[in-house]
Amino acid sequence: MYEILLFLGGFFAGIINVLAGGGSFLTLPILSLYGLTTSVANGTNRIGILLQNISATWNFIVKKEIKLADAFFLSIPTILGAVIGTSIVLSLPEELLKISIGIIFLAMSYFVLFSPKVWEEGRKVKANRWVSTIVFFLIGIYGGYIQAGVGFFLIYALTMLEGYNIKQANAIKIFLTLIFTVFSLILFSFKSKVELVPGLILGVGSFIGGYFGAYLNRRVNKNIIRYTVAGMMILSALNYIFVR
């Protein structure tokens, strides 16, 4: 029964993560129901993230929807941050971070809902490269630490700093998440924080869901994606602030 739940959770999380973000808020509780501790669930969840992003990234590359030169440049600070973030989460509690991120999500959801032009069309001028490097480094720290919701930060940075519209940002977000997840998963594995069997069941569902998510990303109306992002942000914020 739990195996079916893991597969279905991975499938829907794969779609959600590709279209917006926050799918880990679905999969982490399911992994806990399976009997994993919070830290092991956090590590095991990365298997699903990795597999869904492999399928989605391949789909985007085949369709030539990712500017690989820009994506590789942004991946460098993101990877460095993720290594630091993963190292931190393996040794520190996360309660204060959860509350602060929840507040940030609520604030960001306002701009997503009520300042749609930037999200739909992107900015005409890119930010300074040093600013982008610092921001993506910090996002990497967060992604390595807890993963859940990192897509929101990536989308926000890619639209506000890099000038991409929401659909372009989604594609590059998936690529960056794929790259830094490899390094985070290795560190979690070294600390024995990964359970292979539930991770692979979740991962197969996520792999299929990621493919469908990439397909839908090219066809779903931008407003639907925007409202999905905002809705997941608000739900995630409430989860961070109130769920213990």
With a cut of 80, say whether residue 239 has pLDDT above it.
no
Mean pLDDT score of the chain:
80
Residue 48 · residue 12 · CB < 8 Å? no
Predicted confidence at residue 180, as pLDDT, reads 94
Give the residue, 8 or 111, on which the prediction is more confident: 8
pLDDT grade, residue 222 (50/70/90)? low
Residue 217 · residue 223 · CB < 8 Å? no
Predicted TM-score (pTM) of this structure = 0.79
What's the longest Cα–Cα distance across the chain?
51
What are 216-223's contacts with CB under 8 Å, separation 24+?
216/15, 216/18, 216/19, 217/18, 217/19, 217/167, 217/170, 217/171, 218/63, 218/65, 218/167, 220/19, 222/119, 222/120, 222/165, 222/166, 222/167, 223/116, 223/120
With a cut of 90, say whether residue 14 has pLDDT above it.
no
Alpha-carbon distance of 135 to 132, in angstroms, equals 5
Task: Extract the tokens encoding 123.
Answer: 């900015």
Alpha-carbon distance of 229 to 63, in angstroms, equals 23
- The tens digit of pLDDT for each residue in 178-216 reads 999 999 999 999 988 899 999 899 989 888 887 787 777
